[in-house]
Amino acid sequence: MKAYCRSIGLLFVVTAILTSLCGIASARGKAPVVPLTEQGQKLQKHYADILDSLREEITASLPSVDKQKKAAFLDARAKLGGLKAPGENATPAAVTRYKAASAQAEANALQAARAVLAGLDGLLASDKLDSKLMATAIIRHGTPRGLAEFAQQGEQEKALLDKLFAGEALMKQILISGGANGGEYGEAMQVYAAIQTASERARERGSVFQRLALGTALHQPWLAGKETGGVYGIVYADHQAPDGQVARYLHFEKAHLGGELDPAFKDMNAWECRFITNDPYTDEELGWVREMMRNYRPDHITNPDYKWRYTRIVKSDVPYASPVWDPERGTKTQQMIAGGGKCGPRAFFGRFVTRAFGIPARRSTQRGHAAMNHWTPDGWVVCFGGWWSFNWCGPWGGLDFLLDSQAREHPKEYMKVLRAQWIGDALGEADVSIRNYGAGGGFWDGLAFYKKRAVVDEAKTAELGKELVGLSAEESRLLGESDKILGDKKGEAINIPEKDRTIIVGKDGVITIPAAACFKPTNNTDKIAFMASSGGGTQVHYARLGKRPELLRYTVELPAAGKYELTARVATVSVKQQAIFRLNRRTLINLPLPYTKGMWAKTKSQMVAMFKGKNTFGITCRVPNRGVSIKELTLTPVR
């Protein structure tokens, strides 16, 4: 009896512990286990039976692999995997020896993989087995239980999965685009259907709208513990879009139709679109930052260097400082630029502004540091941090992401990569690690990895930002936290049309002085930049950066002496700023600048006494200052 009581007591303890662990897992974001109904159990068996049947058919259809070449490949990988990296206290000689041995072992593995791939090219180039391979990959990735959990909810949910497995073209587009995040294929189909119901354009096959809809649907929020089982890399989403995925899609559809996005957006594929709509900030904030940039720093929007297009706003206007969080300054993103921040907020803002304009971006976690990666026409790059070998995003390492993104630039060859992965899925092989570059994995998935290596090697893909390779992790961190840009060159001054320099005197005596009408400076300087306004004309930006104050100098001819009210049309992104107005070398007037959150607004008027004839005045800001863009100055006569 005592033994029985002890057993019951132990059972209660174990149950309590398990319950506690489930609560902790749930708190950490791990998906709770959904109990299967009787129908769910039948569905699980249904998907498991399909998987078993497909595996048998695929296995029977595969050609034999040259045993000697296969053994050589596996041996070369084993030797590479057996190398142990030297510790932090290793001597330079030991590090040099390891690097040489690693490079040689890597070359041997690639050479051995090429030999095997040459004999399998016909298989990997053929789409004969695609329908079976793709269904197998989806069921393995989503798991029979995971698919059953979704399908047991009702006939509509089951019909969505039936539609997926019946559509070979859709399965192919989904898997080429990285598969459903966390294996959530049912949820992805649900969101995809909802977007297509909400938007007729999302149903236009092959259009950027359809690709955007699919990419948005596939990139479900990341759940811890969901990163295994044929994920092929897509395993991290920043957050569930706060306004919902349908609303997020519609936001970008409207922005694209309104001409607000980058010209490159129209050519983004569904895989790239996953990294655009995946943002934790609201649709309102996305719209705000586009308008703010058009007003405040239009030069960053048209920067020909895509690495720093949009993201340069972080270097120029988000100072590295302890962040100041104050709801009175607006939304979280408006507070980031208004109060500055350390590496985290700067990286967050960089991703946010890049995505807002339709450019794919992802987080780049580094040891003791936060950076970002984003798309450019020449390949993905790292901003605000170290080289790819230093960064990761969730379980996905930077080097593996870079390799995958480069291989994708060759669609025909990349299909061979995918087919090798799908065969590995069919045979139940382990995946190559996406965190530890090229480590682990079975024979076929290992071949897929080295196929990517071969594709990129043969294409000799350029790697933008390779100047970061030689920097240490600490040097990279310091560079990311500074406002310095490697290889930065001074931009050429724009040609200012004469009409943008012409002072206008209205019939009512109001004098409008374009900001670009200054007689000094006549070229861009450390503090002052002339730039084309997005709404037409020319504006002047007085920058945060630069070591010493500079003066914008103007001359205006007045028909008579008198008092005037001075106002300026400005855009600012930070609080508590003021300019200094210096009139005829005698009078100094403080001109408080309003906090406009990047929108155009007028300053409060200041009374100034002007001479008859020629008057000179200048505008400057004390250092340290934050940036201000100036469109025009107005002198209104006091009657």
DSSP calls for 50-84: HHHHHHHHHHHHPPPPPHHHHHHHHHHHHHHHH--
Predicted local confidence at residue 489, as pLDDT: 63
Q: Which helix (H) or strand (E) holds 88?
A: none
Tokens standing for 252? 């970008």
Count CA within 13 A, CB hemisphere, residue 19: 6
Q: What average pLDDT values come out for the chain (639 residues) when binned by 10 residues?
A: 38 35 35 84 98 97 96 96 87 90 95 97 97 96 94 97 96 95 92 96 96 93 57 62 90 98 98 94 97 97 95 95 91 95 94 98 92 96 92 90 96 97 95 92 96 93 72 82 74 80 92 96 91 95 90 92 95 95 91 97 95 94 91 94
Which are the contacts of 62, defined by CB distance < 8 A and separation ≥ 6? 123, 423
Owner of token pair 């016909």: 122
Whole-angstrom Cα distance, residue 147 to residue 45?
Answer: 11
Count CA within 13 A, CB hemisphere, residue 192: 27
The answer to whether 490 and 524 have CB atoms below 8 angstroms apart is yes
Q: Which amino acid is it at 218?
A: L
Complete edge-to-edge strand list for the sheet that includes strand 361-366: 381-383, 369-374, 361-366, 392-393, 396-397
Predicted local confidence at residue 559, as pLDDT: 84
Q: Which helix (H) or strand (E) holds 372?
A: strand 369-374
Pairing of strands 562-572, 628-637: antiparallel
Which are the contacts of 229, defined by CB distance < 8 A and separation ≥ 6? 140, 141, 143, 183, 431
Whole-angstrom Cα distance, residue 631 to residue 537?
Answer: 9
Predicted local confidence at residue 472, as pLDDT: 83
Query: Rg of the Cα trace of the chain?
Result: 30
Show the beta-strand stretches assigned E in 549-596: 552-558, 562-572, 577-583, 587-593
Predicted local confidence at residue 20, as pLDDT: 34
Task: Tell me the whole-structure pTM to 2 decimals.
Answer: 0.90
Task: Return the bridge partners of 552, or none.
Answer: 619
Task: Report the candidate in 359, 373, 354, 352 with the shortest Cα–Cα distance to residue 263.
Answer: 359
- 23-to-10, 11, 33 alpha-carbon distances in Å: 20, 18, 11
Report the sign of the C-alpha dihedral through residues 230, 234, 239, 240, in that order: negative
Whole-angstrom Cα distance, residue 378 to residue 463?
Answer: 8
Predicted local confidence at residue 222, as pLDDT: 59
Burial tier of 183 (Cβ tally within 10 Å: 0-12, 13-18, 19+):
buried
Tokens standing for 215? 């990419």
Helices 38-61 + 144-151 axis angle, to 10: 140
Whole-angstrom Cα distance, residue 108 to residue 72?
Answer: 9
Q: Which helix (H) or strand (E) holds 91?
A: none
Predicted local confidence at residue 622, as pLDDT: 84
The answer to whether 434 and 400 have CB atoms below 8 angstroms apart is yes
The answer to whether 551 and 619 have CB atoms below 8 angstroms apart is yes
Predicted local confidence at residue 464, as pLDDT: 65
Instruction: Kindly state the DSSP code that residue 579 receives in the 8-state scheme.
Output: E
> Which domains does the chain possess?
39-85+98-176+411-455 (no CATH), 182-231+239-267 (no CATH), 279-409+461-489 (3.10.620), 498-637 (2.60.120.260)
Whole-angstrom Cα distance, residue 340 to residue 317?
Answer: 8
Predicted local confidence at residue 330, as pLDDT: 95
- 75-to-69, 72, 84, 106, 333 alpha-carbon distances in Å: 10, 5, 16, 12, 52
Whole-angstrom Cα distance, residue 432 to residue 449?
Answer: 7
Whole-angstrom Cα distance, residue 402 to residue 378?
Answer: 12
